[in-house]
Structure 1
Amino acid sequence: MARYAALLRAVNVGVNKLAMADLRRVVTDLGHTDVKTYLQSGNVVFTSPPARAETLAEGIANRLADELGLRVPVLVRDGDELAAVAAASPYAGRQDDHTRVLVVFLSAAPAAARVRELAVPPGETMEYEVIGREAHLHFPAGGYGRTKFTAAYLEKKLGVVATARNLRSVLALRDLTAG
Protein backbone atom coordinates (compact mmCIF):
# COMPACT_ATOMS: atom_id res chain seq x y z
CA MET A 1 0.00 0.00 0.00
CA ALA A 2 1.10 3.57 -0.64
CA ARG A 3 0.07 6.99 0.66
CA TYR A 4 -0.95 9.65 -1.83
CA ALA A 5 -2.10 13.26 -1.83
CA ALA A 6 -4.56 14.45 -4.45
CA LEU A 7 -4.42 18.18 -5.11
CA LEU A 8 -7.50 19.68 -6.71
CA ARG A 9 -7.11 22.90 -8.65
CA ALA A 10 -9.30 25.92 -7.88
CA VAL A 11 -11.56 24.35 -5.26
CA ASN A 12 -13.48 26.59 -2.85
CA VAL A 13 -12.33 29.72 -4.62
CA GLY A 14 -14.83 31.31 -6.97
CA VAL A 15 -17.50 28.99 -8.30
CA ASN A 16 -15.96 25.55 -7.59
CA LYS A 17 -17.47 24.83 -4.15
CA LEU A 18 -16.78 21.41 -2.66
CA ALA A 19 -17.48 20.22 0.87
CA MET A 20 -14.55 18.26 2.24
CA ALA A 21 -16.98 15.59 3.48
CA ASP A 22 -18.05 15.06 -0.16
CA LEU A 23 -14.43 14.86 -1.27
CA ARG A 24 -13.66 12.25 1.42
CA ARG A 25 -16.74 10.24 0.41
CA VAL A 26 -15.83 10.30 -3.29
CA VAL A 27 -12.27 9.15 -2.61
CA THR A 28 -13.47 6.47 -0.19
CA ASP A 29 -16.08 5.24 -2.70
CA LEU A 30 -13.25 4.71 -5.19
CA GLY A 31 -11.86 2.08 -2.81
CA HIS A 32 -9.14 4.14 -1.16
CA THR A 33 -8.67 3.93 2.60
CA ASP A 34 -7.51 6.13 5.49
CA VAL A 35 -8.90 9.16 3.64
CA LYS A 36 -8.24 12.57 5.22
CA THR A 37 -8.68 16.08 3.89
CA TYR A 38 -6.37 18.95 4.73
CA LEU A 39 -7.80 22.46 4.91
CA GLN A 40 -10.76 23.44 2.73
CA SER A 41 -8.80 23.92 -0.48
CA GLY A 42 -8.98 20.54 -2.17
CA ASN A 43 -6.26 18.47 -0.55
CA VAL A 44 -7.05 14.84 0.17
CA VAL A 45 -4.66 12.17 1.44
CA PHE A 46 -5.40 8.47 1.09
CA THR A 47 -3.94 4.97 1.06
CA SER A 48 -4.18 2.79 -2.04
CA PRO A 49 -2.34 -0.02 -3.75
CA PRO A 50 0.53 1.37 -5.82
CA ALA A 51 -0.79 2.89 -9.04
CA ARG A 52 0.13 5.49 -11.63
CA ALA A 53 -0.58 8.98 -10.30
CA GLU A 54 -2.37 9.87 -13.53
CA THR A 55 -4.73 6.91 -13.12
CA LEU A 56 -5.57 7.90 -9.54
CA ALA A 57 -6.06 11.54 -10.54
CA GLU A 58 -8.30 10.63 -13.46
CA GLY A 59 -10.44 8.40 -11.26
CA ILE A 60 -10.99 11.15 -8.71
CA ALA A 61 -11.62 13.82 -11.37
CA ASN A 62 -14.12 11.63 -13.23
CA ARG A 63 -16.02 10.71 -10.06
CA LEU A 64 -16.21 14.37 -8.97
CA ALA A 65 -17.59 15.28 -12.40
CA ASP A 66 -20.05 12.38 -12.54
CA GLU A 67 -21.39 12.62 -8.99
CA LEU A 68 -21.08 16.29 -8.13
CA GLY A 69 -20.85 18.02 -11.50
CA LEU A 70 -17.50 19.47 -10.47
CA ARG A 71 -14.95 19.58 -13.26
CA VAL A 72 -11.54 20.41 -11.82
CA PRO A 73 -8.06 19.18 -12.60
CA VAL A 74 -6.60 16.75 -10.06
CA LEU A 75 -2.88 16.13 -9.56
CA VAL A 76 -1.55 13.27 -7.42
CA ARG A 77 1.81 12.84 -5.71
CA ASP A 78 2.89 9.98 -3.47
CA GLY A 79 4.54 10.39 -0.10
CA ASP A 80 8.06 9.94 -1.43
CA GLU A 81 7.46 12.57 -4.11
CA LEU A 82 6.12 15.05 -1.57
CA ALA A 83 9.12 14.47 0.67
CA ALA A 84 11.44 15.08 -2.29
CA VAL A 85 9.55 18.25 -3.27
CA ALA A 86 9.81 19.63 0.26
CA ALA A 87 13.52 18.77 0.45
CA ALA A 88 14.20 20.35 -2.95
CA SER A 89 12.68 23.73 -2.09
CA PRO A 90 15.42 26.26 -2.82
CA TYR A 91 13.65 28.91 -0.71
CA ALA A 92 12.48 27.03 2.41
CA GLY A 93 15.58 27.90 4.43
CA ARG A 94 15.56 31.54 3.34
CA GLN A 95 12.09 32.45 4.58
CA ASP A 96 10.53 31.97 8.00
CA ASP A 97 7.08 32.81 6.67
CA HIS A 98 6.05 29.65 4.81
CA THR A 99 3.13 31.47 3.18
CA ARG A 100 5.67 33.42 1.09
CA VAL A 101 7.19 30.21 -0.28
CA LEU A 102 4.99 28.21 -2.63
CA VAL A 103 5.15 25.08 -4.70
CA VAL A 104 3.19 24.96 -7.92
CA PHE A 105 2.53 21.35 -8.78
CA LEU A 106 2.51 20.68 -12.52
CA SER A 107 0.77 17.87 -14.38
CA ALA A 108 3.99 17.09 -16.29
CA ALA A 109 7.51 18.39 -16.57
CA PRO A 110 7.29 21.35 -18.94
CA ALA A 111 9.31 21.57 -22.12
CA ALA A 112 12.76 23.02 -21.49
CA ALA A 113 12.19 25.75 -24.09
CA ARG A 114 9.08 26.94 -22.26
CA VAL A 115 10.94 27.04 -18.95
CA ARG A 116 13.72 29.11 -20.56
CA GLU A 117 11.12 31.59 -21.87
CA LEU A 118 9.40 31.94 -18.49
CA ALA A 119 9.84 35.37 -16.89
CA VAL A 120 8.61 37.26 -13.86
CA PRO A 121 6.01 39.85 -14.90
CA PRO A 122 7.35 43.43 -14.95
CA GLY A 123 7.31 45.23 -11.62
CA GLU A 124 7.11 42.09 -9.49
CA THR A 125 9.65 41.10 -6.87
CA MET A 126 9.86 37.33 -6.62
CA GLU A 127 12.06 34.38 -7.45
CA TYR A 128 11.24 31.04 -9.01
CA GLU A 129 12.85 27.79 -10.02
CA VAL A 130 11.28 24.97 -12.01
CA ILE A 131 12.45 21.55 -10.86
CA GLY A 132 10.89 18.61 -12.70
CA ARG A 133 7.11 18.71 -12.20
CA GLU A 134 7.13 21.57 -9.72
CA ALA A 135 7.78 25.29 -9.77
CA HIS A 136 9.13 26.70 -6.52
CA LEU A 137 8.19 30.33 -5.86
CA HIS A 138 9.47 32.85 -3.34
CA PHE A 139 7.80 36.17 -2.58
CA PRO A 140 10.24 37.91 -0.20
CA ALA A 141 8.41 41.25 -0.09
CA GLY A 142 4.81 40.21 -0.49
CA GLY A 143 2.57 37.27 -0.99
CA TYR A 144 0.94 35.17 -3.64
CA GLY A 145 -2.36 37.04 -3.35
CA ARG A 146 -1.25 40.03 -5.41
CA THR A 147 1.06 38.47 -7.97
CA LYS A 148 0.42 37.86 -11.64
CA PHE A 149 2.83 34.88 -11.43
CA THR A 150 -0.01 32.50 -10.52
CA ALA A 151 -0.82 28.90 -11.31
CA ALA A 152 -2.97 30.15 -14.20
CA TYR A 153 -0.02 32.20 -15.50
CA LEU A 154 2.23 29.14 -15.28
CA GLU A 155 -0.35 26.97 -17.04
CA LYS A 156 -0.42 29.41 -19.94
CA LYS A 157 3.34 29.89 -20.14
CA LEU A 158 4.38 26.26 -19.52
CA GLY A 159 1.50 24.46 -21.26
CA VAL A 160 0.66 22.17 -18.32
CA VAL A 161 -2.01 22.03 -15.61
CA ALA A 162 -0.86 23.70 -12.38
CA THR A 163 -2.05 24.10 -8.80
CA ALA A 164 -0.27 26.00 -6.03
CA ARG A 165 0.21 25.26 -2.34
CA ASN A 166 2.19 27.25 0.20
CA LEU A 167 5.13 25.55 1.86
CA ARG A 168 3.22 25.10 5.13
CA SER A 169 0.63 23.00 3.24
CA VAL A 170 3.30 21.08 1.34
CA LEU A 171 5.02 20.17 4.60
CA ALA A 172 1.71 19.10 6.16
CA LEU A 173 0.85 16.95 3.13
CA ARG A 174 4.34 15.44 3.25
CA ASP A 175 3.80 14.53 6.88
CA LEU A 176 0.31 13.13 6.23
CA THR A 177 1.65 10.85 3.46
CA ALA A 178 4.83 9.77 5.27
CA GLY A 179 5.54 6.09 5.86
Structure 2
Amino acid sequence: MTTTYAALLRGINVSGRRKVPMAELRELLTGLGHSGVSTLLQSGNAVFTSESDDEASLGAELERAIEERFGFAVDTLVRSAAYLRAVADACPFPAATLEGKQLHVTYFSEPVGPERLAPLDPAAYLPEEFRLGDRALYLYAPDGLGRSKLAGALAGPGLFKGITATSRNWNTVVKLVELTRD
Protein backbone atom coordinates (compact mmCIF):
# COMPACT_ATOMS: atom_id res chain seq x y z
CA MET A 1 0.00 0.00 0.00
CA THR A 2 1.27 3.46 -0.83
CA THR A 3 1.03 6.53 1.36
CA THR A 4 1.13 10.15 0.26
CA TYR A 5 3.60 12.39 2.06
CA ALA A 6 4.92 15.92 2.09
CA ALA A 7 8.62 16.56 2.59
CA LEU A 8 9.25 19.86 4.39
CA LEU A 9 12.80 21.08 3.84
CA ARG A 10 14.12 23.66 6.27
CA GLY A 11 15.91 26.83 5.22
CA ILE A 12 16.60 26.30 1.52
CA ASN A 13 16.55 28.86 -1.30
CA VAL A 14 16.60 31.77 1.16
CA SER A 15 18.51 34.89 0.06
CA GLY A 16 20.22 32.93 -2.72
CA ARG A 17 21.84 30.48 -0.29
CA ARG A 18 21.52 26.71 0.05
CA LYS A 19 19.98 26.43 -3.38
CA VAL A 20 17.96 23.33 -4.14
CA PRO A 21 16.22 23.70 -7.50
CA MET A 22 12.76 22.14 -7.35
CA ALA A 23 13.28 20.24 -10.62
CA GLU A 24 16.35 18.58 -9.08
CA LEU A 25 14.46 17.84 -5.86
CA ARG A 26 11.75 16.10 -7.93
CA GLU A 27 14.46 14.11 -9.75
CA LEU A 28 16.05 13.16 -6.44
CA LEU A 29 12.77 11.91 -4.95
CA THR A 30 11.97 9.94 -8.09
CA GLY A 31 15.48 8.45 -8.02
CA LEU A 32 14.83 7.29 -4.45
CA GLY A 33 11.94 5.23 -5.79
CA HIS A 34 9.04 7.50 -4.93
CA SER A 35 6.19 8.27 -7.31
CA GLY A 36 3.66 11.04 -7.85
CA VAL A 37 6.37 13.59 -7.11
CA SER A 38 5.53 17.30 -7.27
CA THR A 39 6.82 20.44 -5.58
CA LEU A 40 5.20 23.57 -4.21
CA LEU A 41 6.90 26.95 -4.34
CA GLN A 42 10.69 27.29 -4.16
CA SER A 43 10.85 27.03 -0.39
CA GLY A 44 11.22 23.30 0.02
CA ASN A 45 7.87 21.56 -0.14
CA ALA A 46 7.60 18.30 -2.04
CA VAL A 47 4.75 15.81 -2.29
CA PHE A 48 5.28 12.14 -3.14
CA THR A 49 3.93 8.65 -2.59
CA SER A 50 5.90 5.81 -1.09
CA GLU A 51 5.51 2.19 -0.06
CA SER A 52 7.19 3.05 3.26
CA ASP A 53 5.20 3.86 6.37
CA ASP A 54 8.17 5.30 8.29
CA GLU A 55 8.26 9.11 8.15
CA ALA A 56 11.56 9.36 10.07
CA SER A 57 13.36 6.95 7.73
CA LEU A 58 12.01 8.73 4.66
CA GLY A 59 13.20 12.08 6.03
CA ALA A 60 16.66 10.72 6.90
CA GLU A 61 16.97 9.12 3.46
CA LEU A 62 16.11 12.41 1.75
CA GLU A 63 18.51 14.36 3.99
CA ARG A 64 21.37 12.01 3.00
CA ALA A 65 20.48 12.26 -0.69
CA ILE A 66 20.32 16.07 -0.57
CA GLU A 67 23.68 16.33 1.19
CA GLU A 68 25.23 13.94 -1.33
CA ARG A 69 23.78 15.79 -4.32
CA PHE A 70 24.12 19.43 -3.20
CA GLY A 71 26.97 19.29 -0.69
CA PHE A 72 25.16 20.70 2.35
CA ALA A 73 22.86 19.36 5.03
CA VAL A 74 19.15 20.21 5.01
CA ASP A 75 16.89 19.27 7.91
CA THR A 76 13.86 17.52 6.45
CA LEU A 77 10.57 16.48 7.99
CA VAL A 78 8.33 14.03 6.18
CA ARG A 79 4.66 14.02 7.17
CA SER A 80 1.77 11.92 5.89
CA ALA A 81 -1.31 13.35 4.23
CA ALA A 82 -3.41 12.23 7.21
CA TYR A 83 -1.15 14.07 9.65
CA LEU A 84 -1.16 17.27 7.57
CA ARG A 85 -4.98 17.15 7.42
CA ALA A 86 -5.23 16.54 11.17
CA VAL A 87 -2.97 19.53 11.93
CA ALA A 88 -5.03 21.79 9.66
CA ASP A 89 -8.30 20.53 11.14
CA ALA A 90 -7.05 21.06 14.71
CA CYS A 91 -6.12 24.72 14.19
CA PRO A 92 -7.19 26.58 17.35
CA PHE A 93 -7.48 29.91 15.52
CA PRO A 94 -10.25 31.01 13.11
CA ALA A 95 -8.20 30.24 9.99
CA ALA A 96 -11.08 30.89 7.58
CA THR A 97 -11.31 34.51 8.74
CA LEU A 98 -7.58 35.26 8.72
CA GLU A 99 -5.12 36.13 5.97
CA GLY A 100 -2.56 33.42 5.23
CA LYS A 101 0.28 35.67 6.40
CA GLN A 102 -1.32 35.99 9.86
CA LEU A 103 -1.29 32.30 10.71
CA HIS A 104 1.66 29.91 10.69
CA VAL A 105 2.37 26.34 11.67
CA THR A 106 5.76 25.20 12.88
CA TYR A 107 6.20 21.47 12.43
CA PHE A 108 8.48 19.66 14.90
CA SER A 109 10.44 16.43 14.58
CA GLU A 110 9.00 15.23 17.90
CA PRO A 111 6.33 16.20 20.44
CA VAL A 112 6.94 19.45 22.30
CA GLY A 113 5.57 19.87 25.80
CA PRO A 114 4.46 23.13 27.39
CA GLU A 115 7.52 23.09 29.68
CA ARG A 116 9.67 24.14 26.72
CA LEU A 117 7.60 27.30 26.36
CA ALA A 118 7.50 28.10 30.09
CA PRO A 119 10.18 30.84 29.78
CA LEU A 120 7.81 32.88 27.58
CA ASP A 121 5.16 35.16 29.04
CA PRO A 122 2.33 34.93 26.48
CA ALA A 123 0.69 38.12 27.79
CA ALA A 124 3.80 40.11 26.85
CA TYR A 125 3.20 39.39 23.16
CA LEU A 126 -0.54 40.00 22.83
CA PRO A 127 -2.35 40.25 20.46
CA GLU A 128 0.03 37.62 19.06
CA GLU A 129 -0.64 34.12 20.36
CA PHE A 130 0.56 30.55 20.03
CA ARG A 131 -0.88 27.13 20.78
CA LEU A 132 0.75 23.71 20.80
CA GLY A 133 -0.62 20.86 18.73
CA ASP A 134 0.55 17.38 17.73
CA ARG A 135 4.23 17.93 16.88
CA ALA A 136 3.20 21.41 15.79
CA LEU A 137 2.91 24.96 17.03
CA TYR A 138 0.28 27.35 15.70
CA LEU A 139 1.27 31.02 15.65
CA TYR A 140 -1.20 33.85 15.19
CA ALA A 141 0.66 37.02 14.19
CA PRO A 142 -1.91 39.64 13.10
CA ASP A 143 0.74 41.94 11.57
CA GLY A 144 2.56 39.10 9.79
CA LEU A 145 5.67 37.14 10.62
CA GLY A 146 8.10 39.90 9.65
CA ARG A 147 6.78 42.18 12.39
CA SER A 148 6.15 39.47 14.97
CA LYS A 149 7.97 39.79 18.29
CA LEU A 150 6.57 36.44 19.39
CA ALA A 151 8.02 34.69 16.33
CA GLY A 152 11.44 36.08 17.26
CA ALA A 153 11.08 34.85 20.83
CA LEU A 154 9.97 31.40 19.66
CA ALA A 155 12.98 31.21 17.35
CA GLY A 156 15.33 32.18 20.15
CA PRO A 157 18.19 29.97 21.25
CA GLY A 158 17.40 27.03 23.45
CA LEU A 159 13.60 26.78 23.33
CA PHE A 160 13.61 23.96 20.81
CA LYS A 161 17.20 22.78 21.15
CA GLY A 162 17.69 19.32 19.69
CA ILE A 163 14.44 19.41 17.73
CA THR A 164 14.10 20.01 14.00
CA ALA A 165 11.50 22.70 13.33
CA THR A 166 10.27 24.26 10.11
CA SER A 167 7.44 26.74 9.61
CA ARG A 168 4.86 27.30 6.89
CA ASN A 169 2.27 30.04 6.50
CA TRP A 170 -1.37 29.02 6.46
CA ASN A 171 -1.68 29.32 2.66
CA THR A 172 1.09 26.72 2.30
CA VAL A 173 -0.43 24.51 5.02
CA VAL A 174 -3.74 24.45 3.12
CA LYS A 175 -2.07 23.88 -0.25
CA LEU A 176 -0.05 20.94 1.13
CA VAL A 177 -3.26 19.38 2.46
CA GLU A 178 -4.83 19.78 -0.99
CA LEU A 179 -1.79 18.35 -2.81
CA THR A 180 -1.58 15.29 -0.54
CA ARG A 181 -5.25 14.34 -0.81
CA ASP A 182 -5.51 10.71 -1.82
TM-score by length of 2: 0.89
Distance apart, 1:151 and its partner CA: 9.4
Instruction: For 1:77, give the aligned amino acid.
Output: R
Q: Considering only aligned residues, what root-mean-square deviation do their CA atoms show, in Å? A: 2.1
Residues 82-132 of structure 1, C-alpha deviations (whole Å, 9 max, x = no match)? 000100111144633122111000111124421333445956641100112
Provide closer, same or farther for how the CA distance between residues 96 and 152 of structure 1 changes in structure 2, counting only shifts above 3 A: closer
SS of 1:56 mapped into structure 2: helix
Residue 168 (structure 2) pairs with residue 165 (structure 1)? yes
Identity %: 34
Structure 1 residues 116 and 123, CA gap change in structure 2 (3 angstroms): closer
Q: How many residues align?
A: 178
CA contact (8 A) 1:102 1:164 kept: yes
Residue 32 of structure 2 is matched in structure 1 by 30
- Cα deviation, 1:64-92, whole Å, max 9, x if unaligned, reads 00111131100011000000010011114
Is the alpha carbon distance of 1:25 and 1:114 closer, same or farther for their aligned partners in structure 2, counting shifts above 3 Å?
same
Question: 5 Å matches for 1:85-96?
Answer: 85-93=87-95, 95-96=97-98
Match of 1:80 among 82, 85, 97: 82
* Residues 71/124 of structure 1: CA separation in 2 closer, same or farther (3 Å cut): farther
User: TM-score of the superposition, structure 1-length normalised?
Assistant: 0.90
1:9 and 2:39 aligned: no
Does structure 2 conserve the Cα–Cα contact (< 8 Å) formed by 1:101 and 1:167? yes
User: Which blocks of at least 5 consecutive residues in structure 1 are unaligned?
Assistant: none
The answer to whether the 8 Å contact 1:4/1:177 transfers is yes
| Ranges in structure 2 where 5+ consecutive residues have no aligned partner | none
